[in-house]
Amino acid sequence: MEHRLRAILLERGRDWLGIDINSDWIQFQPTRKDVRGDLTLMVFPFAKALQCPPAVAATKLGEHLQREVELIEGFEVIQGFLNLVFSQQYWLSALDEVHSNPQFGFSAPNSKPKVMVEYASPNTNKPLHLGHLRNIFLGYSVAELKKADGHQVVKTQVINDRGIHICKSMLAWQRFAPIQPNGERETPSNSGIKGDKLVGKYYVEFEKHLQIELKEVLSRWNAGDFSNTSSVAAAKFMELSSAKEGKDEKAQAAIDDKIKELAKSETEILRAAQDMLVRWEGRDPETYLLWSTMNGWVYQGFDVTYQRMGVDFDKLYYESDTFLLGKDQVMDGLARGIFYQKPDGSVWIDLSADGLDEKLVLRADGTAVYITQDIGTAIERFKDYSDLTGIVYTVGNEQDYHFKVLFLILDKLGYAWAKNCYHLSYGMVDLPTGKMKSREGTVVDADDLMEEVVVAATAMTQERGHIAELSEEERTRLYENIGMGGLKYYLLKVDPKKRMMFNPEESIDLNGNTGPFIQYTHARIGSLLRKAGDFSTNDPLSISAAETSIIKVLHAFPNVISEASHTYSPALLANYLYELTKEYNSFYQQCPILNESNQGLKASRILISRSVANVLRRGLLILGISAPERM
């Protein structure tokens, strides 16, 4: 209707008002719920052009539109706003549009440009945790939103399978893994520990030993003993220690942190890990074999976790394959003057003229840093998909600066598509106990959390006792769908940019803004429709104010999909589904459906119920959530 009204205003404006209407003046919005009307036009620009009070301009426009458009049965003017009232026939037509089109709300498949959505992107030195869950569910649902909005979509992840963090786990396993009676070290097969968890165990083990050595180094330095310490580190320690004099407590703490980082670089265990990284990049056979073996354990573990999450990927990228391409780009950019080299051999880029800072792109020992491999990965992706128009990176907001730098470097290297890259920045997930730290082993493991919510959903559903007719297999599947649906919805209903506190108990509640509340309503509608059977009538459809209210919400589905896609916010869709669910439950309580004697009303209410179930099911599916038929 908005498009039709806009066209009419632009075409007939001079005849009606004696002036040409500027398209920018035409701003529609849904009418507020507390006043009468279905669509509101802001008339202040018209009043200014006509040099008359807004109410006068609104009345003129309302009278002309009501005469011109048969589906407008009235209007109301409230200050500078024209509230248009649509006829019953309009809403009947809207209901017909919703229920007769199985793909209502979705754009034609592949009708829009191809985009790539990256999510997950784990490190192979630890299992997935709660923070990964928000990332993965967010990225997956954004990819599904883009599909629903008509885009061709490539789902991908880049696996961070190289770097110093990987070497830390490798070194710790070499040094500290217990020897089995048969002479083997601990492995997933002989220990029964999931591969990603086993490798993560040794990442934590490395940190424990690093902290022990760190204390020893700091103790020696504070005692004036600089044996086994480089002269550069010793001089820096003295400089930092002197700088603490006269500083306040906060400034001294910041200097102490710098001293700790300096001391870490002088520990034997970190030096050994750095040496291992150099050997890996040099393709040392023994190091490479250990790396590929331990990464293999992790991939098997990840696959199990992804399967339970219900997510998939079209293409996998590995940093071990792309970091060399990134290094080549850096060397090419160095020759072209885009980068510069410091006396120690490290390579940097100066972005201060762009309001940023200097950024390291190659270490002095020639090894790559994160941004080096990200440069290579981005270029590789556009080579693989020549029709790709942009990439969406789903990464936490602590990396905001990193992506500003990455996109700017790619642009300076001459890649025009860099302007179409987007960082889907999201807030961290907090726990009542505080921030998670992987290296200290204080994370909430993703596998454990998923199991916890499914167990809780099982207990809740069994307690309600409404599933006696289901087989054991169907019950198990239902418990999984409710638990995982609650978890996903809880993490997706919050605006991505906002930091959030996670409460697993709230996620499976059958009341309030939760996934199970929406799932239960879908199941309730399923029960009603099974009782209705193949109901049909020769009587014309009829609707009242109650039906009109819910048809309005249903009819907004396409706009919600479009806006959620353009803003990369599944939260808009999640909260729309909640509002639709609340509206239907209110409708269900107010209006008899199967017992309605007026056959026209009964038919319309059954059609509305079918339409709500269809929109809920398809909307939940975009969020990666199943909609049970029984619950």
> What CATH number should be reported for the domain holding residue 39?
3.30.1360.70
Residue ending a domain, choose from 53, 86, 119 = 86
Burial of residue 537, with CB atoms counted within 10 A of its CB: 0-12 exposed, 13-18 middle, 19 or more buried: middle
Is 202 within a domain? Answer: no
Residue ending a domain, choose from 69, 86, 103 = 86
Check if the beta carbon of residue 378 is closer than 8 Å to that of residue 325: no
Domain that holds residue 37: 2-86
Check if the beta carbon of residue 148 is closer than 8 Å to that of residue 559: no
Amino acid at 3: H
Distance CA 83, CA 441 (A): 58
Residue ending a domain, choose from 64, 86, 108 = 86
Q: What pLDDT, on a 0 to 100 scale, did the predictor assign at position 1? A: 86
Task: Collect all residues with Cβ–Cβ distance below 8 Å to 112 and sequence separation of at least 6.
Answer: 149, 150, 151, 152
Task: Pull the structure tokens for residue 186.
Answer: 């601990």
Is 282 within a domain? Answer: no
Q: What pLDDT, on a 0 to 100 scale, did the predictor assign at position 438? A: 43
Check if the beta carbon of residue 236 is closer than 8 Å to that of residue 262: yes
Check if the beta carbon of residue 105 is closer than 8 Å to that of residue 379: no
Which residues of the chain have a pLDDT value below 50? 434-441
Task: Pull the structure tokens for residue 478.
Answer: 């239902």
Check if the beta carbon of residue 336 is closer than 8 Å to that of residue 304: no
Query: How much is the pTM?
Result: 0.89
pLDDT, tens digit (0-9, with 9 covering 90-100), for 601-619: 999 999 999 999 999 999 9
Q: What pLDDT, on a 0 to 100 scale, did the predictor assign at position 442? A: 54
Check if the beta carbon of residue 82 is closer than 8 Å to that of residue 40: yes
Handedness of CA 469, 474, 475, 480 (dihedral sign): negative
Helix (H, G, I), strand (E, B) or coil at 188: helix
* 189, 350, 354 from 357: Cα distances, Å: 48, 6, 8
Is 175 within a domain? Answer: no
Q: Which residues in 466-576 belong to E strands, given as ranges?
A: 500-501
Alpha helices (H) along 149-226:
164-176, 188-191, 195-222
* Residue-by-residue DSSP string for 507-531: HT-SSSSSHHHHHHHHHHHHHHHHH
Domains of the chain: total: 2
Check if the beta carbon of residue 46 is closer than 8 Å to that of residue 9: no
Is 336 within a domain? Answer: no
Is 109 within a domain? Answer: no
Please report, for the domain that includes residue 543, its CATH number: 1.10.730.10
* 136, 143, 309, 392 from 140: Cα distances, Å: 6, 5, 10, 11
| H or E segment to which residue 9 belongs | helix 2-17
Q: What pLDDT, on a 0 to 100 scale, did the predictor assign at position 439? A: 46
Would you give the distance in Å from CA 535 to the centre of its chain?
Answer: 41
Distance CA 148, CA 483 (A): 25
